[in-house]
Chains A and B, each alone.
Chain A
């Protein structure tokens, strides 16, 4: 991580194509950001590859997102007559599935992430950040474009419930096994996971069912389980927002460790301080498009100037 931000920005601009702000001084960015039309469309880009004829061999890409489009198809919207006769009439009168709405949530995002990077993703609510992470994790189908990854990315989100009717301890065991850890590995790390989560600081909560946990406790335990394994690519979706300050500090430390172990970490957050503390590169997504991709300070500054908190 000895690279200066200028070098990083220069290298990045060659691999991703939809990030004109990097070509201009950071001060000029908000204007481009406020006007999506200023972002060139994702047409043919012969220059993108040739810019980087000799890629830096020391930087190993772990995630390559290539002109990704994600379209949600949502069933059961439309007129909400939720009774049986209405359902029957809909089936009789209209063939197929009438109540489908499509949402074009990610529109042509392209970037490359490298080993050892911690990448923050910022943008207003509903801008497509979580959808982008789900698509990278392979949990949502790409409508157009591709996502290439090194190994299996792991996504850790706030809504990623484990098994609420089982105890915290059983969830640690099952979560670890599901991630592919061996039984010995889990037994040897069990105490570390529990200590890291801080679940047992107040009482013996680890032997209670997870449905009795507060949302903050559940989020902490989930993060602790997921962080116990060394992931090639770990994506964290707002998971740290619910923890208390002490836990956030521990988590940020663990994220730095994961990066040292040659992983790549993505962090979605509305907390710019957390992004600044953890990430060295930031993607700014707005209306499903990648507005800006560059060093944390520049992008977060531009985002804040634009009106983001």
Chain B
């Protein structure tokens, strides 16, 4: 098929096809150029989060505390999951807060495009800004929760050691993993609106498999070895375990899943790379219809 006169005219003046998707490298540069948009969007969303409630921003601290209290009541006192787990309250709170980060990043990532359809249809910007801003918002929420957690740990008598510094690389790796997850789920959520209804159930199942309320090694003591290995490569378990190891002195290296740091790095790299590629390959489709 020969080029039409219009195509020739367009080519001679260097016009590009409207709505075409840039290459992955160019897309990353566009995203970097929008970094202030991403941070400002996350900050604005956070400040608007509890604007309807009378206690306002206090809920940002109260929510994780109440969450931990409910889980302590159910699992620690009623079900007795804490028997034999030293420092159960710090163990539980760390698990809940760290898993909530992944969980809410996944949820808000999946909804990030459909919730901002007006913005997507009004203005042109790299759409990946939205799931990334959603992840950043959840990271900011986690920072508040970690402040609460530090108080809980100290109140419980957990010593502050230099090992707490390990929380930083653990958190960075988890954030990268969450960003990749949010990107991938954003594409799925934008295409299949049913997905947002299903996701909470998937995430809850994931939470119960990740040893948030109990010590997974106690449950899997008699299980076949390959199954235990599979459960121990669960990224949520890995990031939760790393944070517990960093913050709680009684969680020793022996209680960590094997190869925990390499696995944390691999999961972060794979999730970020695959999530980015998956999201990018549909960039020109978002907001249509």
The answer to the question of A177 belonging to the interface, with a C-beta cut-off of 8 Å to chain B, is yes
The DSSP consensus for interface residues of chain A is mixed
- From A64, A147, A222, give the contact of B9 (CB < 8 A): A64
CB pairs A–B below 8 angstroms (13 shown) = A61-B10, A64-B10, A112-B9, A146-B10, A152-B124, A153-B18, A159-B118, A161-B122, A162-B118, A162-B119, A163-B116, A180-B33, A226-B123
For A110, list chain B residues within 8 Å (CB): 6
Among the interface residues A137, A148, A183, which one has the most CB atoms of the partner chain B within 10 A?
A: A148
Among the interface residues A63, A110, A173, which one has the most CB atoms of the partner chain B within 10 A?
A: A173
The answer to the question of A272 belonging to the interface, with a C-beta cut-off of 8 Å to chain B, is no
- From B17, B37, B287, B289, give the contact of A178 (CB < 8 A): B37
- From B16, B41, B44, give the contact of A148 (CB < 8 A): B16
Q: A60-B13, A174-B37 are in contact. Are A65 and B288 (CB under 8 A)?
A: no
Report the Cα distance A163→B42, complex, angstroms: 13
A15→B124 contact, CB < 8 A? no
Nearest CB in chain B: distance from A261 CB, A: 18
A136→B18 contact, CB < 8 A? yes
Nearest CB in chain B: distance from A272 CB, A: 26
Report the Cα distance A177→B20, complex, angstroms: 21
A174→B44 contact, CB < 8 A? yes
- Tell me the nearest residue of chain B to A183, going by C-beta: B36
B5→A177 contact, CB < 8 A? no
Report the Cα distance A41→B10, complex, angstroms: 22
- From B14, B20, B36, B51, give the contact of A138 (CB < 8 A): B20
- Tell me the nearest residue of chain B to A48, going by C-beta: B5
Q: A138-B19, A149-B16 are in contact. Are A178 and B284 (CB under 8 A)?
A: no
Per-residue CB contact flags for chain B residues 4-29 toward chain A (1 = under 8 Å, else 0) read 11111110011111111000000000
Report the Cα distance A163→B40, complex, angstroms: 13
CB contacts between A and B, total, < 8 Å: 136
The answer to the question of B125 belonging to the interface, with a C-beta cut-off of 8 Å to chain A, is yes
We find that the number of chain B residues with CB closer than 8 angstroms to chain A is 39
* Chain A stretch 160-183: residues in CB contact (< 8 A) with chain B: 160-163, 165-166, 170, 173-175, 177-180, 182-183
A148→B125 contact, CB < 8 A? no
For B33, list chain A residues within 8 Å (CB): 180
B119→A178 contact, CB < 8 A? yes
Report the Cα distance A65→B19, complex, angstroms: 13
A180→B34 contact, CB < 8 A? yes
For A61, list chain B residues within 8 Å (CB): 9-10, 13, 15
For A179, list chain B residues within 8 Å (CB): 123-125
For B123, list chain A residues within 8 Å (CB): 154, 160, 175, 178-179, 226
- From B34, B118, B124, give the contact of A154 (CB < 8 A): B124
A141→B19 contact, CB < 8 A? yes
Q: A140-B288, A148-B17, A155-B122 are in contact. Are A166 and B48 (CB under 8 A)?
A: yes
